[in-house]
Amino acid sequence: MELTHFNQSGKAHMVDVTIKQDTHRQAIAEGRIVMKPDTLELIKQGEMGKGDVLGVAQIAGIMGAKKTGDLIPMCHPLLLSSVNLELTICEDKSCVDIRATVKTTGKTGVEMEALTAVSVAALTIYDMCKAVDKAMVIEYISLVAKSGGKSGNYKREEVGP
């Protein structure tokens, strides 16, 4: 397996996808942000001073997916057909689990867009709650599955922590 983001001289470059065929592509990524139980309770009750934490994080994650090509140097800007974020409060682990599903029909995959969506949603939660809990930890951001394209399907063996 060769790294595709380097040319024959070893210099970084954007992969040329000109001759690749458009295919339906989907990627699913997950992550979590762990916090103090009191912080999670404030989120649940809608009492965080900056507003609806999960609602804002969901929108931020969608925006992050759409801006991935601007943030990650070798990513192609993509026309996304769907970005879905699920944010689930998990009281027994005192965390918010984040799952992003991103879809497109195109020449390149959407793994980076799904991972960016999860990352930006988690960072938004951190930003909105840091006044009461600076010890929050963002963890387990990873690709769960992807489909489409020349490399075919991928599904991670172990899901979650």
Catalytic residue set? 127
| Both tokens assigned to 77 | 């800007």
For residue 103, what are the CA distances in angstroms to 7, 27, 87?
Answer: 28, 7, 18
Amino acid symbol at 81: S
Q: Locate tokens 């979590």: which residue?
A: 32
The enclosing H or E element of 84 equals strand 82-90
Strand 154-155: give its sheet, edge to edge: 82-90, 95-106, 23-34, 137-147, 154-155
Amino acid symbol at 48: M
β-bridge partners, 89? 96
Q: What is the sign of the dihedral through the CA atoms of 142, 65, 110 and 100?
A: positive
